[in-house]
Amino acid sequence: MAEQTLKEAFEVADTGAVISGELIPIDGRGKVRVTYNWLYSALNCVPNDSSSFSWVIEKVSGDVVALSPQSHYGGMKLYASVRPDNSYHVQVQAPFSADWITKAQGDEHITMTELGFLTVTFKGLNGQYMAVNGSESSGVISTGGSHCGYRLQSNASRADDATFFIAVDQVLQSKIALPKITGRSPEELVNFLGKRGVENFAQIALQVGR
């Protein structure tokens, strides 16, 4: 099967889980992850945290997707939610409460647009791009440890400030022909991504699967 673009893959995909992989902002501030029980479980990037954190990208309809952490938390399948009740920060737990987001509907519906080989933008229902904040937020994890990181917020008006690379680690539908990105050496990835015109490919290659 010939290699597809991400747009082509999602056009032919069935509704439901399509791929999983790490989400890496091309500005180099780390991988998108959830540090559970920190600032009500916001999506964030931590530059000095090189551990893997994979997301499942589900097709809802057309170019609308839902993002779910691959590893469940407390036995729950959670979803990224653009929160109008918290300045459009993106998180898997409702602000000011203990309510986890376990269904993909409304605020969890995110428009994904491919810009080139596996580089994408995401928009919330408010029509703004999901982007990594320009400054860090600090807090205390419930276990007593401290933490800081860059939160994600659906508040950017320019795609240039909100571009992510999807480091695919699993293709979850047989009709999809996207290459697996994780599991390659940094040297292989530099060559592979560079030939496909990925912006900041050398920097991204160093972060994949670490």
Distance CA(67)–CA(20), nearest Å, equals 9
Q: How open is the CA angle 1-112-119, to the nearest 5 degrees?
A: 65
Residue carrying structure tokens 């203990």: 98
pLDDT tens, 33-57?
A: 998 888 889 999 988 888 999 999 9
Q: Are 126 and 86 in contact (CB under 8 A)?
A: no
pLDDT at 183: 87
More confident residue, 208 or 168: 168
When the candidates are 1.20.120.430, 2.80.10.50, 2.60.120.560, 3.40.50.300, the CATH number that belongs to 6-182 is 2.80.10.50
pLDDT at 200 over 70: yes
pLDDT of residue 145: 64
What is residue 92's predicted lDDT score, i.e. its pLDDT? 97
Place of tokens 């600032």: 39
| Beta strand 164-171 pairing with 119-123 | antiparallel
| Predicted structure pTM score | 0.92
Domain boundaries, the chain: 6-182
Half-sphere exposure of 62 (CA within 13 A, CB side): 6
Which carries the bigger pLDDT value, residue 67 or residue 37? 67
User: pLDDT, tens digit, for every residue of 110-163?
Assistant: 999 999 899 999 999 999 999 999 998 877 666 556 677 899 999 999 888 799
pLDDT at 141: 65
Contact between 193 and 168 under an 8 Å Cβ cutoff? The reply is no
SS (H, E, C) 105-164: CHHHCEEEEEEECCEEEEECCCCCEEEECCCCEEEECCCCCEEEEEEEEEEECCHHHCCE
What integer is the mean pLDDT of 88-105? 92
Work out the mean pLDDT of the chain and round it to a whole number. 91
Using a pLDDT cut of 90, give the percent of the chain over it: 64
75 vs 127: CA distance, rounded Å: 32
Task: Give the confidence band of 210 by pLDDT, cuts at 50, 70, 90.
Answer: low
The pLDDT value recorded for residue 142 is 61
